Structure 1
Amino acid sequence: MNQDYIKPDNWSIIEEGFDVNRVKSSESLFSLGNGAMGQRANFEEQYSGPTFQGSYIAGVYYPDKTRVGWWKNGYPEYFAKVLNAPNWIGINVIVNGEPLDLYTCKSVNHFRRELNMQEGWLSRSFTAILKNGLEVNVSAKRFLSLDLDELGAIQYKIIPTNGDAEITFQPYLDSGITNEDTNWDDKFWDTSSIVQNDCQAFIEAKTMKTDFYTCTYMESSFSINAKPITINPEVQAANNKVVYNYKGLIKQNQVFAIHKFGGYVVDSNHDKSELITVAKQNLEVAKEKGFDQLLEEQKASWAKIWEMADITIDGDVKAQQGIRFNIFQLNQTYLGKDARLNIGPKGFTGEKYGGSTYWDTEAYCIPFYMATKDQNVARTLLEYRYHHLDKAIENAEKLGFKNGAALYPMVTMNGEECHNEWEITFEEIHRNGAIAFAIFNYYRYTGDYSFIPEKGLEVLIGIARFWQQRATFSTNKNQYMILGVTGPNEYENNVNNNWYTNYLAQWCIEYALENISQVKKEYPSDYARIMDKVKLSDSELKDWKSVSDNMYYPYSEKHDIFLQQDGFLDKELITVSDLDKSQRPINQKWSWDRILRSPYIKQADVLQGFYFFEDQFDDETLERHFDFYEPFTVHESSLSPCVHSIQAAKLDRMDQAYTFYLRTSRLDLDDYNHEVHEGLHITSMAGTWMSIVEGFGGMRVSDNKLSFTTKIPEQWSAYSFKVNFRGKILKVNVSQAETNFELEANEAMELLVNNKLITIAPNNLVTV
């Protein structure tokens, strides 16, 4: 049974009523981020019930030593942990000597929480009766500034409603926190100083091993009935914590408010000796602007993002809420401002998976950022991989590969592999192909070839070298095979000839050869520089060609389909529809041994390949494979439903496409996989965007032009989206009757619509 407590709303995520069993799920769903830092939606006041406290700083991590009872060559020494950072949001509230704690209150009524996605803020309000009988009304609002991305702001108000009360606000900073996810319970943070200065406090702490120097800071101000007051605090400072006590004698129905500013400054952006100075400057700016002005600026910044990124859906509130939630969380996670950062699979919402970079970025996220921002953001993501090329070569060397072969990591923070499940670390090598595909996809969409001679070709050569060396020549079949792999479908480990992996390997080699030839012809100086560096010989190129020309693909004559892998038809082929619902999700109900022997597919590898390379297969072939694999797919990967939605739309199966769309867009809101308490599925949210734009909108790039074959689910009356294509912004509006195209540009644009060429003039509406 999926959860169903989030209220349908076009622009907000809303929870009404307090339930201790929902706290951890809501902490994920209502998370905040601004690209530089983020936090789960923990309460400001103390909460003694089950909770997952989490605040995170982009790029700050800890190399948690791998926990295995055995060691093999090439095994990663550590698993990079996204670090739970010092907590600055805390404000304990004491009422007549008793802590306000929703877990221990006599009653909590009128509880309401709202994440306003249009304006970028989180609010919470409730009435509570404490054990001492006092009743209070509380309202809180907070946000993380997009413009000043080292700063967050909190407004917290309390009203005693059945008597006068002595109320103490205790804003604090705490660097004595631990990770929810840790191998050895290591101490991750070393606090070096706690500095107090009037209403300001600062904790300087560095990470163990990685030596990230940080300063967590805060300052608070107060008012009664909106009139500013000055309260001199009592200060308590311990080894890792500083607490300020501000007492007020508050009459019945008076509003006692605290405004707290806080955040992080890090030595990756500032000199480590200047961190407190920079924090003080941030607080000065915050005080000068004040909470209300900062909030107005926040609304304006989000309005600018939504102007380009919004997708509207008319007639289906849950579908509308779902897509906006996905777009909002993607922008909270990554804004393309810092080339050192990437898009972590949990963003700032949890710690599961570790690392900041997976193949998800290249396979799913780059199209979203290319179309809703500009090509520079996507190019920055590709450059991130170029800067890690030496580490990718090192990763391959550890596994015995030579001569500049590059294996990009499954999980990384700095280019080094740090994932420590052997069947993924050593075997899920398809990730290399996603990186090559992203280079191709970037050029196809932007028309900017310059990245390839400047940086991309070196990446493609390293990847092609890896594939040529990873292939094994079978004298039995007289073809090349790729043995012992795991495809995107992680419910089949250590299989031979995963079709998707073999197909990608062949394509990567061909694509590298094609670009070597083009760069040689059109960019001779770049070609000379690259060849001098990589030392590529004619005999090596022959070896590549031999592998790509003679790649083996597992195939079933009986079903006329490519097989997931050699042994797929040896399984007991019972479809998902015949699986007892009480056994789902199987990854939480079954042993791993049972899953590996089953035919059930976490995400369909073959269909992922058809998604990447759809122009190499006709619709009839797609349909045959879709009909064979969909019945065995349990969609227990967050990356699965979006691809199926796109392909179902392509096949005119709109009911199926719509069902998959709802599943991908509301994966976390409705908690399909029963794991939202661990954090959100950020990278798959880009797939949700693709399921509308590429699925229902049918957007492709064909012959250097945008092409559309628009469709609309019967549940919707209309939908619209914008894309930035080569510096021209095109708005597409689809209704049940027609499709309108509107161009924001200085010159006309040619489009293919239902395979017919149309020309659209600037600021002109064309109806099809």
Structure 2
Amino acid sequence: MKPYLKEHPWSIIEDSFDKNYHQISESIFSIGNGHMGQRANFEETYSGESLQGSYMAGVYYPDKTRVGWWKNGYPEYFAKVLNATNWIGLSFKIDGEELDLNKADVKSFYRELNMKEGYLTRKFTAELSAGKVVEVEATRFVSIVNKEIGAIEYKLTPVNFSATVQVCSYLDGDIKNEDANYDEKFWDPVHVSAEDERTSVTVKTKKLDFYYCAMQETHIYQGDERQTGSVLNNETEKYSDVTFELELNENTPMTVYKYAANVTNRDHDISELEKAAALSLDQAVQKGFTQLKTEQSQQWEKKWLDSDIVIEGDVSAQQGIRFNIFQLNQTYTGEDERLNIGPKGFTGEKYGGSTYWDTEAYCLPFYLATSEQRIPRNLLIYRYNHLEKAKENAAKLGFSKGALYPMVTMNGEESHNEWEITFEEIHRNGAIAYAIYNYVNYTGDKSYLGEYGIEVLTEISRFWEDRVHYVEHKGYVMIGVTGPNEYENNVHNNWYTNRIAAWTLEYTLNVLDYLKDSDPDLYKKWVAKLAIKEEETSKWADIIHRMYYPYDEQRGVFLQQDLFLDKELMPVAELDDRHLPINQNWSWDRILRSCFIKQADVLQGLYFLNNEFDMDTKKRNFDFYEPMTVHESSLSPCVHAILACELGYKEKAYEMYLRTARLDLDNYNNDTEDGCHITSMAGTWMSVVEGFGGMKIKNDQLILNPFIPGNWTSYSFKIVFRHARLRVQIDQKHIDVTNESDVAVDAVIHGEQFRIEGKSSVSLDH
């Protein structure tokens, strides 16, 4: 796709209207606040192709599974984030003609997502069929101060006419998901009301009894004078509106202010839902649009204080990283341990909006380094709270013990229905275990191990024990698996899966030893509660010792799976461009038989367990696998960028960084219209901080080995480490690390030991 967005350090800008890009823009210009989100649909009527999307966090529907051939063990449903009541709706009829950019002659168009202050603005000039020209400026946001409030300011100016206008402000709950398996609507009506300028719609899901109330109040001004004239209301079973009729005067702007409260029974009793919406709405209306927008800006300033990355000399890279950080911050706030991070966030329906292993593997590091400790801890507790469901998932597949965390879930129950992923991509269990290690290693919060961690680790280890089996000529093996590279299914001894399984067993035994030494009473409690036997831990030790790892002696590389060398090996560079992306141009059979790799697989293991491998091992494996990687998973470029940085492959690292940073802005994989790739956006942050910044934690010490791309003047990032907040700035000659907190921290920078006291800095040349 030809890039159509303008480069800007703090904004995403579209300065013309192209219907072919409309759904892509609807994804990119989405807004959210952790509680709800809204695709960048137009407020006014648009009859062209569009994916309407209003989403509420934690509200989902168990859409009955639809497959061609049912296999025992399939989940009964696929959990889907719901397209909820459309609260932004406005329509304008000017002398009877509806304002619709799909039909009008659009003379000018400008849209800007202001990431610094957290709002969306759109301006356009359009000529209606009767020759009437209107100018519009619309601004909206969802509040991160009051999570239940959305607000719109919509200013319309008649340029060359005076006329009668009907303005309809509506709430529409009679909507459906585009990805509904059976084309059904998931919402049932509960109650609607419409009286003067305030209307509401309350609906409930057909299953699970999620209740959702949207309530709006609409005010119209001409100049500074509020219009209180002719007002009509309308109600149907899932719809309510208020319609104003007034006279437009040439060159006199009319401004519509729309405030909406969006509340669910996740936060309020069902009987109090409408009262809660009214209270929240009253507070918003009392403040007014200007004050709400000022509060929005102030709160976003605080978010950027801890999470911003500044790049000088490369506007494209700067815009890319801020877009990724912005989307992460508006998708997940960490305030609610019942919530997690869906792959599309609040930007689309694809992947069901559910929880994947993406959170543990890619998102956790971002929140570890940019948030209060309780926020990443809540991500771990989310999984702990689903442990019993994970044990049920393992039992459903015939395992006698242990826990298998789901590939896709909303409530801990597996809801993914592709055989080779649901039943074979079991490496996700290792990511859950690794997240516990990563959290403890980064924060030093070892109390988590004794409170929650050891129980999760033990049950995951029991699953691995049950999943492997022993053969004389190899040792312990795992057959019939799919590794991170989903372009190979049902393979035997995927190196990464075998290694992360054995590593989990090692880590679990280490944690047991730690608890035994540090708190014998707590250790005895867990041993008794979990019924841990010596023969069980001895078996784990045996699996660790005799786990089989496929390896090519000649090349000195770990084999992705037993038969990988039986493939016809060739680099992606030898493919004609017409074949790419192969997932849109090749049959699945051809993909599975090819050597081409969707995302980091062996290299995922080298990234996770980085300290276990020497540089020569990393180099041999990177040099072998990266040229065969098509990077058709959004999760792929970041891991390669980080490893490339470590290996000194600066050009490759920068190439991979741009690919992950601008994946959606430049629509690399031709799929942004479905929604942005939120979880991989955390990988973009990792590419800068862990890649270019060379950040690692080893032996409780912060390690930095930064370098700077040649076309950058400087870059800086902030991290919170062990309650200290550090600002790291790198230019072409110097490295400066400033401790902005009062907490001293030890750091190793390019191999040199430093103690950075509170409110002090260290500098060195490089």
Give the TM bin, normalised by the shorter chain.
Answer: over 0.9
AA of the residue aligned to 2:522: D
Partner residue of 2:441?
444
Match of 1:145 in 2: 143
Provide the residue aligned with 1:617 in structure 2.
613
Query: How far apart are 1:227 and its partner, in Å?
Result: 2.5
Match of 1:396 in 2: 394
Q: In 1, distance between residues paired with 2:455 and 2:529?
A: 9
Distance 1:384 1:445 in 2: 19
- CA shift, 1:186, in A, is 2.2
- In the alignment, which residue of structure 2 is the partner of 1:457? 454
Task: Name the CA distance, whole Å, in 1 between partners of 2:217 and 2:229.
Answer: 13
Partner Cα distance (2:420, 2:516) in 1:
39
Q: Secondary structure at the match of 1:246?
A: strand
Residues 84 and 179 of structure 1 are in contact (CA less than 8 Å); yes or no, is this contact kept in structure 2? yes
Partner secondary structure for residue 23 of structure 1: helix
Matches within 5 A, 1:275-354: 275-354=273-352
Q: Distance in 2 between matches of 1:627 and 1:69?
A: 40
Q: Which moves more between the two structures, 244-253 or 668-677? A: 244-253
Asked if 1:490 corresponds to 2:486, the answer is: yes
Cα deviation code 1:49-91 (max 9, x no counterpart) = 1111011000000001111233333211100011100111000
| Structure-1 separation of matches of 2:546 and 2:698 | 29
Identical positions, percent: 55
1:357 is paired with a residue whose SS is: coil
Pairing 1:559–2:555 present? yes
- Matching residue's letter, 1:665: A
DSSP 3-state at the match of 2:459: helix
What's the CA shift string for 1:494-546, capped at 9, x where partnerless?
00000000000100011111111211222233223322322111112222222
Number of the residue aligned with 2:602: 606
Q: 2: CA distance between counterparts of 1:226 and 1:713? A: 52
- Check conservation: 2:89, 2:171, Cα contact below 8 A: yes
Question: 2:470 corresponds to which residue?
Answer: 473
2:329 and 2:179 map into 1 onto residues whose CA distance is 25
RMSD: 1.0
Deviation track 1:545-588 (CA, whole Å, cap 9, x = no partner) reads 22111100111112111111111111111210010101111111
1:88-237 alignment, distance < 5 Å: 88-105=87-104, 107-237=105-235
Return 5+ residue gaps in structure 1 as ranges: none
In the alignment, is residue 14 of structure 1 matched against residue 13 of structure 2? yes
The yes-or-no answer on 1:752 pairing with 2:748 is yes
Structure 2: state its 5+ residue gaps: none
Alignment correspondent of 1:42 = 41
- The 3-state SS of whatever aligns with 2:268 is coil
1:86 aligns with 2:82: no
Q: Within 1, Cα distance between the matches of 2:229 and 2:519?
A: 69
Q: Map of 1:530-545 to 2, 5 A cutoff? A: 530-545=526-541
Distance 1:231 1:297 in 2: 31
Q: Matches of 1:392 and 1:99 in 2, distance apart?
A: 52
**What is the one-letter code of the residue matched to 2:440?**
Y
Q: Over residues 356-409 of structure 1, what are the superposed CA-to-partner deviations in whole Å (9 max), with x where a residue is unaligned?
A: 211011111111001101211111100111110000000000011123x00000
After TM superposition, the structure 1 stretch with the greater mean CA deviation from structure 2, 177-186 or 415-424, is 177-186
1:252: which partner in 2? 250
Indicate the residue corresponding to 1:428 in structure 2.
425
Amino acid at match of 1:741: V
Contact 2:193 2:201 in 1 (8 A): yes
Q: What is the match of residue 496 of structure 2?
A: 500
| Secondary structure of 1:261's aligned partner | strand
Deviation for aligned residue 1:235: 1.3
- Superposed CA deviations along residues 284-331 of structure 1, whole A, max 9, x for unmatched, are 111110000000000000000001100000000000000000000001
Aligned residue identity for 2:479: L
- Give the corresponding residue for 1:683: 679
| Separation in structure 2 between the aligned mates of residue 747 and residue 629 of structure 1, nearest angstrom | 42
The answer to which of 180-189 and 487-496 deviates more is 180-189
- Structure 1 residue 604: Cα displacement: 2.4
Q: Which residue in the other structure is 1:270 paired with?
A: 268
Distance 1:733 1:699 in 2: 13
d(CA) in 2 for partners of 1:305, 1:186: 39
Report the alpha carbon displacement of residue 264 of structure 1 after superposing the two structures with TM.
1.1
Give yes or no for the alignment of 1:575 onto 2:571: yes
Q: TM-score, normalised by structure 2?
A: 0.99
**Does the alignment pair 1:640 with 2:636?**
yes
Counterpart Cα distance in 1 of 2:44 and 2:11 = 23
* Range moving further from structure 2, 61-70 or 360-369: 61-70
Q: Say whether 1:587 aligns with 2:579.
A: no
- Please say if residues 59 and 356 of structure 1, whose CA atoms lie closer than 8 Å, have aligned partners that are also in contact: no
Matching residue's letter, 1:442: Y
Q: Deviations over 1:685-712 (max 9, x none)?
A: 0010010001001011122111111100
Q: Deviations over 1:438-465 (max 9, x none)?
A: 1001111000100001100000000000
Residue 355 of structure 1, CA deviation: 4.2
SS in 1 for 2:351: coil
* Offset, 1:750: 1.8
SS, match of residue 220 in structure 1: strand
Q: 1:701 corresponds to which residue? A: 697
Aligned amino acid, residue 413 of structure 2:
E
Q: Which residue of 2 aligns with 1:509?
A: 505
Amino acid at match of 1:434: A
One of 355, 359, 362 as aligned partner of 1:361: 359
C-alpha distance in 1, partners of 2:19/2:741? 52
Moved more, 283-292 or 512-521: 512-521
Query: What residue identity is the alignment partner of 1:34?
Result: N
CA distance in 1 between counterparts of 2:71 and 2:32 reads: 38
| Separation of aligned partners in 1, 2:757 and 2:585 | 57
Asked if structure 2 preserves the Cα contact closer than 8 Å seen for 1:73 and 1:398, the reply is no
How far the C-alpha of 1:225 sits from its partner, in A, is: 1.5
For the residue of structure 2 that corresponds to 1:233, the secondary structure is strand
Aligned residue type for 1:657: A
- Does the CA contact (< 8 Å) of 1:18 and 1:109 recur in 2? no
Residue 243 of structure 1 corresponds to which residue in structure 2? 241
- Code of the aligned partner of 1:35: G
User: Does structure 2 conserve the Cα–Cα contact (< 8 Å) formed by 1:355 and 1:411?
Assistant: no
Contact 1:602 1:634 in 2 (8 A): yes
